[in-house]
Amino acid sequence: MTSNVVTMTTSAAVPTGSEGAIANGGTVTDRLVEANQRYAAEFTDPGMDARPVLQVAVVACMDARLDLHKALGLQLGDCHTIRNAGGVVTDDVIRSLTVSQRALGTRSVVLIHHTGCGMESITEDFRHDLEMEVGQRPAWAVEAFRDVDQDVRQSMQRVRTSPFLLHTDDVRGFVFDVRTGLLREIDPA
């Protein structure tokens, strides 16, 4: 299958001091709040509602190297973006997709995992170790995986078989290469 070629950049060059503090003092959160103040000073209400123009929901990993809007040529208002560790389809992702489809009109689902994902380097032991550390077992599964292609297939299957989703005919899955910026489509079979 063919895919679009897209190159991405990161904001890794932003000067920070040790432990993420801004070089001139303050915290990363302070930097974000200051950036928001600059943004709000020039902000104009775009006059749109929460319904995505392209009627698509994108489920992706939370990895900071993925600039989804840029990589997919999207603009503000084009899609719903749902992100989590690994981009796996969990019960909470199904909840968000259900609201997206049933209340806000999306019809297509794009799933994006990526190369070099941290979820490939941990195991379900992470959950056990966490329980030992804090004295409480997490209610959620880690959803770690070894084979990114197979996990995309599993995520596509979870979307396609959910009884809560109205539109499961246009569900496609991809692996984003963090070195090249290219998407590689995964065959659901």
User: Per the structure, how many domains does the chain have?
Assistant: 1
Task: Tell me the sheet residues that pair with 186.
Answer: 173
What CATH number has the domain bearing residue 108? 3.40.1050.10
Containing domain of residue 115, as a range? 48-186
Residue 5 confidence (pLDDT): 41
151 found inside a domain: yes
Residue 126, CA distances (Å) to 88, 98, 137 in order: 17, 29, 11
How far does the chain reach from its first CA to its final CA, in angstroms? 13
Share the mean pLDDT of the chain.
90
Q: How many CB atoms lie within 10 A of CB 82?
A: 21
2 found inside a domain: no
pLDDT at 86 over 60: yes
9 found inside a domain: no
pLDDT at 4 over 50: no
